[in-house]
Amino acid sequence: MEQITTFSLSTIVFLIIAISKYIISSKRRRRKLLPPSPPSLPLIGHLHLLKEPLHRTLQYLSARYGPIIFLSMGTARNAVVISSPSLAEECFTKNDTVFANRPNTTLGQILHYNYTTIAAAPSGPIWRALRRFTAVELLSSAAVNDSSYIRRDEVNLLLRNLLESGRGVGSGFGFYEMDMRARLSGLTMNVITRMVAGKRYYGDGGELVDDDGFGDVVREIGFVLTNASTPGDFLPALRWLDLGGTEAKMRRAHATCDGFCQRLIDESRNENKGGRKNCASRPPKMIDAMLALQESEPETYTDDVIKGHVLIMIIVGTNTFAVMMEWALSALLNNPTVLDKARIELDAIVGHNRLVDDCDYHNLPYLHSIIIETLRLYPVTPLLVPHQSSEDCTIRGYHIPKGTMLMVNAWAIHRDPTVWEDPSSFRPERYGNGEVSGQAYGFLPFGIGRRSCPGSGLANKAMCLVLGSLIQCFEWERKGEELVDMCEGRGITMPKATPLVAMCRVRECMKDVFLTM
């Protein structure tokens, strides 16, 4: 009985303190001109308004309250939501330095090695070192060109597996059903793990090279955990609660990922013990370059920092690229005229005697336009990864307090009728030369500013190669008469709610090419 009474008194005291702080902070905020805001509730603020899919909810709120809105997210966090190109430009030009940091969250602490990955680290020495390393060693034009053989190998493997799957179901050269989400995820995982660690995650026949559950965890992180929060992220007094077991899931996922990445590092160290000759006999990989830097900069490139970078490259690369490809192929199936135009372009430029390759990248403007239109309608991160203000600033004359989270609704900007004509339609023809012109802040699929995604060049080249190869080698149809479901699922990378299952068959004119693969 005494324990219950003590608990009740503690709860009452907590509520009194929290409500008092809320009233005081509300009065302070009213003294300065904040952006428009919906009505809020005590303690939880606007959290009750935030429903999935979040980008659609925020678009609805912005349509009602304006392109910049202020949200109170519990007692610990405020947010400002931007939904127009001009406001995005102001945030990432005049205030780019102010918004160079990421908000601290339970996810960043657990999965991002205590905020030491390129995605979660504050703007400082570790982030600058990782950004510089990534831009030079992994994603520069020279590095992307050097890794082209990996992408070609894996695309060829995908094409052969699609062909063998048709033979396996006895279709000969007729149409057969194919789960494309699984195929595209496997392709992407192999490309990234070969670039990072020098080996496939899945074998030539699709079997697991290392059956440790890492691939499943990567998908869980990309589709579920990166969009998850714990009560303590918004109400610090509730940090001891783990409603829904989210924090426990994060810790289990981290343990699996940490063990996998540590094994990759240990394998590279053991291989490197053989000296330069052994290293020269195998293709270069990212882990080797980071271990070399560890010798000269051990305080920066610790094992945890290396593991975090390996993990982020795999998670971001695998989830984002596979999702982009699934949306692109789904859009083409729903727009067969566009698919036919892309095939005509490929036949004219590449022909039927060889496969499309990186050398064709700049000669396929309509294919580029399809990729751009896919990224506009189905941005891989509909809400750009949040930023946080490091000091007070102003946007459009409104006061933005220090510590405010910045959320840019790229999905809403990409569908803004004042920016795009007929914004909901899939129309690659709107880009006459295969490029976006005059829309620097109206087209944000990879973010913008100093924290933008450095992998846009690699993503565009890889999408051109994969999508071009699938269109060149196979005929594609929907599984039935109904259009492919284009509803969004949960996750920061906006996967399709329903995995894509399509019908395909080898094109007659490409059979001879398959015989030489």
What secondary structure does DSSP assign to 447-477, as a single string?
--STTS-TTHHHHHHHHHHHHHHHHHHEEEE
Question: Can you give the pLDDT at residue 202?
Answer: 87
How far is it, in rounded angstroms, from Cα 38 to Cα 45?
A: 10
Asked if the model's pLDDT at residue 243 lies above 90, the reply is: no
Helices (H), 147-297: 148-168, 180-197, 214-223, 246-272, 276-280, 286-296
At 205, is the pLDDT very low, low, confident or very high (cuts 50, 70, 90)?
A: low
Rg (CA), the chain: 25
Give the pLDDT confidence score for residue 78 in this predicted structure. Answer: 97
Contact 57, 49 (CB under 8 A): yes
Write down the pLDDT at residue 224. 78
Please report which confidence band the pLDDT of residue 273 belongs to, taking 50, 70 and 90 as the band edges.
confident
Going by pLDDT thresholds of 50, 70 and 90, the confidence category of residue 274 is low
Tokens of 415: 């569908």
Place of tokens 């499309």: 356
Instruction: Flag whether pLDDT at 168 surpasses 80.
Output: no
Give residue-wise pLDDT tens across range 362-389: 999 999 999 999 999 999 999 999 999 9
Model confidence pLDDT, tens digit, residues 317-330: 998 999 999 999 99
Residue 178's SS3 state is strand
CA atoms within 13 A on the CB side of 77: 24
pLDDT number for residue 322? 94
- The pLDDT assigned to 485 comes to 97
Known binding-site residues equal 453
Q: What is the mean pLDDT of the chain?
A: 90
pLDDT for 278 equals: 54
Alpha-carbon span 6 to 11, nearest angstrom: 9
What is d(CA 49, CA 44) in angstroms, rounded to the nearest whole number?
A: 10
Would you state the structure tokens that stand for residue 449, as one six-digit string? 């500013």
- Tens digits of residue pLDDT in 291-308: 999 999 999 999 999 999
Q: Would the CA dihedral through 226, 227, 228, 233 be positive or negative?
A: positive
Tell the residue number behind the tokens 């982020």, with chain if given. 312
Structure tokens at 377: 């309608």
The pLDDT value recorded for residue 131 is: 97
What dotted CATH number matches 29-516?
Answer: 1.10.630.10
The two tokens of residue 335 are 């727009």
Q: Which of 474, 468, 478, 469 is nearest to 509 (CA)?
A: 474
- Kindly provide the b/e burial profile for residues 358-378, where b requires at least 16 CB atoms within 10 angstroms of the residue's own CB: bebbeebbbbbbbbbbbbbbb
What pLDDT sits at residue 223? 78
Q: Which amino acid does the sequence have at 289?
A: A
Please state the pTM of the whole predicted model: 0.91
Bridge partner list, 505: 475
How buried is residue 144: exposed, middle or buried, by Cβ count under 10 Å (0-12/13-18/19+)? buried
Cα–Cα distance for residue pair 141/154, rounded to 1 Å: 20
Give the integer Cα–Cα distance in Å for 389 and 63.
24
Tokens 């490929």 locate to: 346
- For CA atoms 212, 218, 221, 223, give the dihedral sign: negative
Determine the Cα–Cα distance for residues 148 and 150; give it in Å rounded to an integer.
Answer: 5
Do 291 and 264 form a contact (C-beta atoms < 8 A)? no
Average pLDDT over residues 480-498: 92
In 224-285, which ranges are continuous DSSP H helix?
A: 246-272, 276-280
Counts for the chain of helices (H) and strands (E), in that order:
18, 9
| Structure letter (DSSP) for residue 235 | -
Q: What are the C-alpha distances in Å from 467 to residues 33, 321, 373, 435?
A: 49, 12, 14, 17
Residue 478: φ, ψ to 5°? -70, 160
Given a cut of 50, whether residue 7 has pLDDT beyond it is: no
Domain residue ranges in the chain:
29-516
Q: How far apart are CA 118 and CA 128, in angstroms?
A: 8
pLDDT at 253: 95
pLDDT at 13: 47
Distance CA 340, CA 362 (A): 20
Token code pair at residue 360: 């064709």
Round to whole Å and give the CA distance between 409 and 80.
11
pLDDT at res. 167 = 73
Residue 14 pLDDT more than 70?
no
Longest distance between any two alpha carbons in the chain, whole Å: 84
Residues in the chain: 517
* 366 CB-near residues (< 8 Å, 6+ apart): 341, 342, 345, 428, 434
Residues making up the annotated binding site for heme are 453
pLDDT at 244: 76
Residue 4 pLDDT class (50, 70, 90 cuts): very low
pLDDT in tens, 451-488: 999 999 999 999 999 999 999 999 999 999 999 999 99
Query: What mean pLDDT do residues 266-290 have?
Result: 78
Confidence (pLDDT) at 27: 52
Say yes or no to pLDDT of 137 above 70.
yes
Whether the CB-CB separation of 320 and 494 falls below 8 Å is answered with no
Report percent pLDDT > 70 for the chain: 90
Q: What is the DSSP letter of 503?
A: E
> Is it the case that residue 401 has pLDDT exceeding 90?
yes
Q: What CA–CA distance (Å, rounded) separates 501 from 158?
A: 16
Crossing angle for the helix pair 125-133 and 286-296, to the nearest 10 degrees: 140
